[in-house]
Amino acid sequence: MHRLAASEAAKHEARCNICKIYPILGFRYRSLRHFNCDICQNCFFSGKQTKFFKMDHPLQEYYTEVCYLKLKRQKE
């Protein structure tokens, strides 16, 4: 239940590779097989696929924003 509540406010600085929406709101799914392949929750839940992305590929689910600038500063 926490993931669902947290995802409502999530705004990801990524473009969906299927419907091209930017930014992705809510859940974001990143392909672990293809570099830089992100999918929005609407395309994921409707089962949409492309010629290079299939639903049986492994995915990483993001339900909160990932702040790359913040991560970079933490490493320094």
Q: Model confidence over 57-66: pLDDT tens digits?
A: 888 888 777 7
**Which structural domains are found in the chain, ordered by start?**
2-75 (3.30.60)
Hey, what long-range contacts does 2-11 have (CB within 8 A, 24 or more apart)? 3/63, 4/63, 6/63, 6/64, 7/41, 7/63, 7/64, 10/62, 10/63, 10/64, 10/65, 11/65
Position 65 scores a pLDDT of 75
Greatest extent of the chain over all pairs of C-alpha atoms, in Å: 41
Per the confidence metrics, is the pTM higher than 0.85? no
pLDDT tens-place string over residues 3-37: 666 566 788 889 999 999 999 998 999 988 888 88
